[in-house]
Structure 1
Amino acid sequence: MAKTIVITGAGDGLGRALARRFAADGETVILLGRTFAKVQKVAEELGGAHFAVECDVGNPDSVRAAFATIAERHPKIDVLINNAAIFEPFTLAEVRDDQLITQLMTNLAGPIFCAREALPLLRGGGHIVNVSSESVALKMPMLWMYAGTKAGLEFVGDMWSRELEGDGVRVTTIQAGQMMDETKTGTNWPMDVAMRFAQENAKIGLNLRERPITHYNSVTDVFRAVLDTPADLHMGTVALSARRR
């Protein structure tokens, strides 16, 4: 039976790749994104019953409104994929208030807001999938806020697994490694920030230019397998990393 899948941050990157994959598999995809034009473009590309909803996951009112809209058309959903996140390096000395608050609200509070509003629609067999990062284990310089929010999300997801068991809701964390597709031509960080990020990582033996990178489409295979896990099996954490062919 086809699943109804809600994906945050579905306008590009992994979120868009997941939306395309699940739509091709015959699932119904609901695309959430802060910039409506981006998620609407993907939804129009997919056609059919798929649709986009504007949603800033870091704003609880925006999340409430988005899931109220979803509930009008789908009183039950099967999967929530908490994918939306902000990835930006900085040092403690230079970080601005807005950078701290935006990452905290988007990367950690956002998945909590979304899961809370999705829970009534997920009860009785739903699945929450939280997207984390290999940076939690790597402890990459200048990435402490991003990795810290992901580490927090992993802890939260682990606790939810026990809390939501009685509701029939499973929770899985997928730790993703470096990935991209043909549309990614580089970073939008200031050049000096990107250079310092590379230099600081090189100091601890992480050469960013030499590290392998995988394609978003390859990663979607793992999400497919997680969602197809039998109901009597729990998959808590899946750790992914890119490898050279």
Structure 2
Amino acid sequence: MELALQGKKLLITGGTRGIGRGIVLAAARAGADVLTCHRQDGEAVDSLAEELKRAGGEHHVVRCDVGEISEVDRLAGEARDRFGRLDGVVNNAGVISHIPFAELPAEEWSRIIDTNLTASYRIIQQTLPLLGAGASVVNIGSRGAAAGIPLRAHYTAAKSALTGLTRSLAKELGPRGIRINVVAPGVIETEAFDAMPAERAAGLRDTYARKTALARLGTVDELAGPVLFLLSDFSGYITGETLNVDGGI
């Protein structure tokens, strides 16, 4: 059974690196047309554009800082102008920092909340006119939101609130045929591990191998698969749920 996304129009935020990049490429290879965004220019942007060309279809990689409301509104306008409709939205773009709560500046709290939570609210709201019956929204949460992680109070607060937003909107938008769910990753091995000192990367792999039922970190493709499932018609009766993709951590 294949997850047929042929011809679906998708907006996926934060698609040039890590988990977002994996979702964008998996969706394009499954036949979807994808609009994605990035905050900074660089090699990752250029290489993604090249990979999308090879995948075929109509794809667009645009610049947008989702931490700014005006930028989010412009991104929704890009989706309208380029596609005319959307069959799915993936709110993936996010930021994180590690700061003791007693030292957490108000401006850093706002930056993390705005990028990880407020952007999702605004993107969903502003793309509603493009979402018809059968459309699916997937918010990328975090397994850490349920567990709680020291030094990340601002981040876990944002991701926990994203779950509440999802559950409320599932009930509000359900009568319109729009589904909305959360995918909550555990520790996924991205290219960020390649940028670490080898000893630190090995230590993290060993730590999480001991903490997960599957005794290893997850891969980007293993995270993209469940997201594509929730974007597909195979998940047509699933909404308001949080799917933990964490290897049994």
TM-score (norm 2): 0.83
1:224 aligns with 2:228: yes
Length, aligned pairs only: 228
- Aligned equivalents of 1:135, 1:50: Cα separation in 2: 32
Residues 142-197 of structure 1, C-alpha deviations (whole Å, 9 max, x = no match):
12211110000000010000111122211011111100135532569xx9xxxxxx
Point out the more displaced range, 89-98 or 5-14: 89-98
- Aligned equivalents of 1:140, 1:2: Cα separation in 2: 40
Unaligned segments of structure 2, at least 5 residues: 1-5
Query: 1:45 is matched with which residue?
Result: 51
- Cα RMSD over matched residues? 2.4
Which residues in structure 2 correspond to 1:154-165 (within 5 Å)? 154-165=163-174
Query: 2:73 is matched with which residue?
Result: 64
Task: Give the number of the structure with larger relative contact order, counting CA–CA contacts within 8 Å between residues 6 or more apart.
Answer: 2
Residues 76-122 of structure 1, C-alpha deviations (whole Å, 9 max, x = no match):
11110000111222111222333212101000101111111111111
Q: Which amino acid aligns with 1:215?
A: T
Query: 1:234 is matched with which residue?
Result: 238
- The DSSP-based 3-state class of the residue aligned with 1:123 is strand
- Aligned equivalents of 2:8, 2:41: Cα separation in 1: 23
- Aligned equivalents of 1:98, 1:208: Cα separation in 2: 32
TM-score (norm 1): 0.84
> Percent identity of the aligned residues?
24
1:114 aligns with 2:123: yes
Distance verdict in 2 for CA 1:113–1:187, change over 3 Å: farther
Distance verdict in 2 for CA 1:230–1:210, change over 3 Å: closer
Point out the more displaced range, 175-184 or 34-43: 34-43
Point out the more displaced range, 138-147 or 42-51: 42-51
* 8 A Cα contact 2:229 2:235, kept in partner: no
Query: 1:213 is matched with which residue?
Result: 217
Query: 1:27 is matched with which residue?
Result: 32
* 8 A Cα contact 1:57 1:113, kept in partner: no
Query: 1:135 is matched with which residue?
Result: 144
Whichever structure has more helix as a proportion of its residues is 2
The CA deviation at 1:224 is 2.1
The CA deviation at 1:32 is 1.5
Which residues in structure 2 correspond to 1:65-84 (within 5 Å)? 65-84=74-93
The CA deviation at 1:64 is 1.1
